[in-house]
């Protein structure tokens, strides 16, 4: 076996081990202990973060920021990874301590010249765009760690009317339209609630753990298909612009019925607890949408409209 092959295999070996000795390396690769020490020194000089532990029971360990072994991608795989990184650049905060531009440059620089030229051409016509939100989200990494370890955290959360303190156990995080969201089990309410990450004002990690209620993929599937606990009929008439606007909302799009190019309607059921949110959304659409049912939403939109008129009445 050539030295290059051994070094490559050794790089993968040390990345799978937390601690090991030169004797273990020698036995694994059928080389002398002296050669094992020399090869490990060469890996260290190449940038692999190896730490030597002296003493009778000492050896080597790889620091937590260890490097990954080289991976060979075909052209389409390289395109996919490069543009996946580009899609993250519109997020103000990320759950990892990572510089997206730096990672993209490293990947780009490692590609053959003809592949880089193709990426240059693709970047001029292709983008995975999200509206960039300037609100910082400083606790992404902490929440992700808490979710992985089933830890309980105490947060101060900015609600609609006031700040509240909550003890929760995060299920995970997901990104949507430039924002990060966290479903978490609320210990006081004994149920899973959804929180927007940029509204978390402070976070304290607890030693307490809580058995995972469900994993992130199961929660997302349930979230998309959940049946209202207290159902109430929603019927909304839409203009052409109303149809266009509502089609951009995943929670409304499946229920849009188009009558013709200029008219349509929405007919579905929502949970009574969502009335305030739904009222605010259709209020923002103005004359592009007309709520017919339920009466509670009509009343809320009417009150909001009167408040806006009152606010501007003395400026006419």
**Which are the contacts of 103, defined by CB distance < 8 A and separation ≥ 6?**
85
Order of all β-strands in the sheet with 50-53: 19-20, 59-62, 50-53
End-to-end CA distance of the chain: 87
**pLDDT by residue, tens only, the chain of 316 residues:** 677 677 778 877 887 776 788 899 899 888 998 998 888 888 887 667 787 877 666 788 776 655 555 566 777 787 787 777 777 776 767 776 666 777 777 777 777 788 888 888 887 777 766 666 667 888 988 998 899 889 999 999 998 778 999 999 999 998 877 788 999 999 999 988 999 999 999 999 999 998 877 788 888 887 776 777 889 999 999 999 999 999 988 889 999 999 998 999 999 999 898 999 999 999 999 999 999 999 999 999 999 999 999 999 888 7
At residue 81, the 3 state secondary structure works out as helix
How far is it, in rounded angstroms, from Cα 87 to Cα 212? 30
Output the pLDDT for position 71.
Answer: 61
Q: How far is CA 33 from the centre of its chain?
A: 45
How far is it, in rounded angstroms, from Cα 142 to Cα 151? 10
């Amino acid at each position: 076996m050539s030295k290059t092959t051994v070094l490559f295999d050794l790089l993968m070996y040390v990345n799978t081990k937390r601690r090991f000795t030169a004797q273990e390396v020698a036995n694994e690769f059928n080389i002398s202990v002296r050669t094992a020490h020399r090869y490990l020194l060469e890996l260290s000089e190449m940038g692999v973060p190896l730490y030597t532990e002296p003493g009778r029971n000492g050896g080597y360990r790889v620091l937590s920021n260890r490097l990954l072994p080289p991976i060979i991608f075909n052209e389409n795989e390289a395109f996919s990874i490069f543009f996946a990184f580009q899609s993250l650049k519109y997020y103000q905060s990320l759950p990892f301590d990572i510089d997206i531009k730096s990672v993209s440059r490293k990947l780009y620089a490692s590609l053959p010249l003809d592949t880089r030229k193709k990426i240059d051409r693709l970047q001029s016509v292709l983008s995975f765009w999200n509206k960039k939100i300037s609100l910082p989200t400083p606790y992404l990494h902490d929440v992700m760690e808490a979710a992985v370890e089933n830890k309980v955290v105490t947060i101060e959360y900015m609600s609609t009317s006031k700040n509240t303190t909550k003890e929760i156990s995060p299920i995970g995080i997901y990104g949507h339209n430039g924002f990060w969201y966290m479903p978490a089990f609320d210990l006081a309410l004994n149920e899973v609630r959804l929180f927007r990450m940029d509204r978390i004002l402070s976070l304290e990690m607890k030693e307490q753990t809580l058995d995972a209620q469900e994993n992130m993929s199961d929660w997302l599937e349930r979230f998309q298909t959940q049946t209202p606990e207290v159902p109430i009929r929603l019927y909304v008439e839409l203009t052409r612009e109303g149809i266009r606007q509502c089609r951009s909302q995943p929670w409304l799009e499946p229920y849009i019925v188009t009558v013709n190019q200029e008219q349509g309607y929405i007919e579905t059921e929502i949970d009574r607890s969502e009335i305030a949110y739904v009222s605010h959304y259709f209020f923002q659409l103005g004359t592009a949408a007309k709520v017919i049912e339920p009466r509670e939403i009509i009343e809320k939109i009417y009150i909001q409209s009167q408040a806006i008129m009152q606010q501007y009445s003395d400026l006419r």
